[in-house]
Structure 1
Amino acid sequence: MIVGQPEMPSELLDDYQVQDHLHEHHSPFGVRAVAILFIALTGGILCAQWVRGVRVESYVGSLQAPKTIITAKNDAIIQEVHVQEGQTVASGETILTLYDRSLEKNWKSKQQELVMLESELEQSKAKSEVELALRNKEIESEVFNAKLKSSQYLKEKYIHQITNLAWQDFLQDYDSLSSNGSAEDVFRSLVYESRLPDENRITAMLRQESARNSAEVFAARVKLCEDQMEELKAIQRKLPAQIRVAMGVEVIKNRLDRVKQELKQLESQRDALQLKAGRYGTVGIFANEKGDPVKKGTPIVELFDKEHPFLVVEVPSRKISLFDEGKAVKIMFSGNAKGKGTIQRISEQAIHKPGSTESVILVYVEPAGPLWPEFPMGTTVDVTLEK
């Protein structure tokens, strides 16, 4: 106790000693608590970093296969479905049959027109043949008459030519006798001259000239007959084509050819209503049923080549740097079935999906190692990168 100070009551002294004792014990405990808390926080952070380092991130992929889309070639109605979903079909096998009412009507109309034109063509050909026979008979008769005249004119020509030669020889003999200079020849000439007066000599010359002219006239007539026969033969050669045109054979034939071409096109369109598989594949889900109307270009069913499957993996664009072509991946199918693959191709353009702020890039994965298990097309799988 300090001298000069009043003495504290015993009750207050006891409380003060107790508080002082508690304060001396509280300070070391708080320090230890803070230290423990700091150590725990540091350990948690380190543990989280370790877990993040060992955790393998997976991506969602979709099982796909090369596919062929069967589309409608015309506005039509599905008349018959020949296969079932999941059925395997070969190339060229008929998948379904469409019915186009307008096309069928046009096809039947063209068939009727074809039959009618074929009948008209046969009738026109028959009339042409009859007309040709009649005209040929007339031409042959004219040719015969021309030949007959030609032979008569030729006969007359030869007669006048012979007459001309005879008179010519006669006059030549007379001239040769009268021009001889010996006494005996002069005597003969006098005798001949006495036997052949001048008027008779002139008459002989005129007859010779007449015979020569007549021979030339009949030669000209023979030439005219020959020209007439050639002209008749030329007409006869052109006659079949002219009669065919006159009888409308060529017009009907052209119409028939046009209708045949149109009918061929319609039959090609009808054949297109038989929708066939362009390659081997497995039939997918039909978008339409028997009796449903479809528009031109409407997809009806898909054929999948399940022997060549692949995966389409959607990778966030911020993660695409982890992916490289040729890199191996692990695949987890439904039922914990496992598989392996190799990155075949990475799309060159990102896709913005509706309702998402982050774009994705499509990565294509092909099988590697054991065959993948069979699952329906579009099945989702988990894909992870191999370390």
Structure 2
Amino acid sequence: MPQFPALFFTVGSFMRVADEPSALDTEFESAPPPTSRGRIVLVVAVALAAGIGLARWINHHGGPTFQGRLTAHTTVVTASRPGRLSDLLTAEGDRVRIGDPLVTLADEDLQEQIQQQTAEVARRQVELETAQAQAALEIEWRQRAIDNEIHEIRLASAGYLKEKFEHELQRSMLADLLTSGEVASLDDGSDAFKSLVLEEQMPSSRRVSTLLQMEAAANAAEVSSARVEMCDADLKRLSSVRDRLPELVRNASGVDVAESRLAEATAQLERLKARQTSLTVHSPAIGVVGVFQKRPGDHVKPGDVIVELLDDARCQLTVEVPSEYIDDIAPDCEMTLTFPGREVRSGRVVSIAPQARPRTDAVGLGETSVRVRIEQAGELWPTVPFGSRVDVQIAE
């Protein structure tokens, strides 16, 4: 590697030769002394060549210094709906995890809709309670009426059953009398009893009368039996009506309709509240909260950037390299980085933009730069704020 002292000595020697001709004669005794103008030209040419060589050596061996900015892989958090930023739930620089709340939005129209729907739910609730109270009174009144009717039918059925047994008993006794001729022990003061107290031979007229009485008793027993069956059928019908009475009265009183309206109003309120829940913006990634682009009171539209989350575990440098130096840089090339505080670290080139673009700080026309990204290599980089400027050089 060339040494600076020797190079500057050579240039200084020529400068001194230009000022002191005697020294030039001493230095080059074997050469014929040129004219004074030739000496000046020679000195200038040598000095120019030495300056160009020095500049090329510095550029290619000492390496030019580029300015880079420390950046991080970012996750952009945007608004998914229109609204007004209500509150910041985190501070800049806080570390957040996935799902942590970041900000809340306010939607005046949605809040008004929720209030109106809440009042609608309350009104439907009162309507349902009124219908239920009316149905309860109607059910109680109708159940009492049915119970009374059932009681009366049961009493009637018991009377019909008693009559049936009496008619059957009378028929049985008359039948026994006709077949055995014995005296019956039934004394109810009727003509039938008198006809049962007979002599040995029953007159034929009395015998016909007894047969007719037996037939009448059989018919009366059948009538009583039919009435008992009718009572049983009425009891079954009334029991069925009593069991279905609450449902029938609820339908007639409009309880089902009121319940349906209340359920619909409640579902609508839940949907509105779910929309209100979405007004809280949550973190989609792990990282550090950057600078908020929106402040409380600002109105946002869908897609507006609210904040960026910085992944400090994946830091990188972004360097705009003048295009005339890009040939000296290649992927995986090692770079020397000087952070604020003169802390020196290493980095590795991970990507080089395929296209140059005009330099924003260029003075002359046609100057371009190429974006180069550098990631950590070797010792961990020091902790400095994102966006800090870092000096970048090609490592020797």
**TM-score (structure 1 length as normaliser):** 0.68
Q: Match of 1:143, as an amino acid?
A: I
Task: Choose the corresponding residue for 1:371, options 356, 362, 380.
Answer: 380
- Could you say which residue in structure 1 is the equivalent of 2:139? 132
Query: What's the CA shift for 1:109?
Result: 0.5
- CA–CA separation in structure 2 for the residues paired with 1:383 and 1:173: 141
Query: What's the CA shift for 1:281?
Result: 3.7
- Could you say which residue in structure 2 is the equivalent of 1:231? 237
- CA–CA separation in structure 2 for the residues paired with 1:117 and 1:320: 78
> How is 1:229-378 mapped onto 2 (pairs within 5 angstroms)?
229-277=235-283, 281-311=287-317, 322-323=330-331, 330-341=336-347, 367-378=376-387
What SS class does the counterpart of residue 282 from structure 1 fall into?
strand
- CA–CA separation in structure 1 for the residues paired with 2:328 and 2:155: 107
What SS class does the counterpart of residue 312 from structure 2 fall into?
coil
Q: Match of 1:373, as an amino acid?
A: P
- Could you say which residue in structure 2 is the equivalent of 1:184? none
Paired positions, count:
333
Query: What's the CA shift for 1:208?
Result: 2.6
- CA–CA separation in structure 1 for the residues paired with 2:385 and 2:160: 103
- Could you say which residue in structure 1 is the equivalent of 2:212? 206
Conservation of the 8 A alpha-carbon contact between 1:329 and 1:383:
yes
Give the fraction of aligned pairs with identical amino acids, expressed as a percent: 31
Which 5+ residue runs of structure 1 have no aligned equivalent?
1-25, 27-35, 176-191
Query: What's the CA shift for 1:275?
Result: 3.1
Deviation digits for residues 118-173 of structure 1 (CA, Å, limit 9, x no counterpart): 22222221111111111111111111111111111111111122223223333443
Deviation digits for residues 294-330 of structure 1 (CA, Å, limit 9, x no counterpart): 11332211222324434567899x9799436xx8665
Query: What's the CA shift for 1:65?
Result: 3.3
Pair 1:148 & 2:145 matched: no
- CA–CA separation in structure 2 for the residues paired with 1:328 and 1:198: 145
Query: What's the CA shift for 1:106?
Result: 0.3
Conservation of the 8 A alpha-carbon contact between 1:77 and 1:293:
yes
- Could you say which residue in structure 2 is the equivalent of 1:183? none
What SS class does the counterpart of residue 138 from structure 2 fall into?
helix
Which 5+ residue runs of structure 2 have no aligned equivalent?
1-31, 33-41, 183-197, 360-365
The change in CA–CA distance for 1:362 and 1:162 in structure 2 (over 3 A counts) is farther
Pair 1:110 & 2:117 matched: yes
Q: Match of 1:126, as an amino acid?
A: A
Query: What's the CA shift for 1:103?
Result: 0.5
- CA–CA separation in structure 2 for the residues paired with 1:248 and 1:143: 28
- CA–CA separation in structure 2 for the residues paired with 1:119 and 1:141: 33
- CA–CA separation in structure 1 for the residues paired with 2:124 and 2:139: 22
Conservation of the 8 A alpha-carbon contact between 2:114 and 2:273:
yes
> How is 1:154-173 mapped onto 2 (pairs within 5 angstroms)?
154-173=161-180
**TM-score (structure 2 length as normaliser):** 0.66
What SS class does the counterpart of residue 154 from structure 2 fall into?
helix
Query: What's the CA shift for 1:331?
Result: 4.0
- CA–CA separation in structure 1 for the residues paired with 2:253 and 2:327: 84
- Could you say which residue in structure 1 is the equivalent of 2:5? none
What SS class does the counterpart of residue 164 from structure 1 fall into?
helix
The change in CA–CA distance for 1:233 and 1:66 in structure 2 (over 3 A counts) is farther
Query: What's the CA shift for 1:352?
Result: 7.9
Conservation of the 8 A alpha-carbon contact between 2:96 and 2:286:
yes
- CA–CA separation in structure 2 for the residues paired with 1:148 and 1:371: 102
Q: CA RMSD in A?
A: 4.4
- Could you say which residue in structure 1 is the equivalent of 2:12? none
Query: What's the CA shift for 1:61?
Result: 6.1
Q: Match of 1:309, as an amino acid?
A: C
Conservation of the 8 A alpha-carbon contact between 2:356 and 2:371:
no
The change in CA–CA distance for 1:245 and 1:377 in structure 2 (over 3 A counts) is farther
Q: Match of 1:108, as an amino acid?
A: Q
- CA–CA separation in structure 2 for the residues paired with 1:362 and 1:237: 85
Query: What's the CA shift for 1:211?
Result: 2.3
- CA–CA separation in structure 1 for the residues paired with 2:81 and 2:358: 34
Conservation of the 8 A alpha-carbon contact between 1:70 and 1:300:
yes
Moved more, 372-381 or 298-307: 372-381
What SS class does the counterpart of residue 306 from structure 2 fall into?
strand
- Could you say which residue in structure 2 is the equivalent of 1:33? none
What SS class does the counterpart of residue 307 from structure 2 fall into?
strand
- CA–CA separation in structure 1 for the residues paired with 2:76 and 2:249: 57
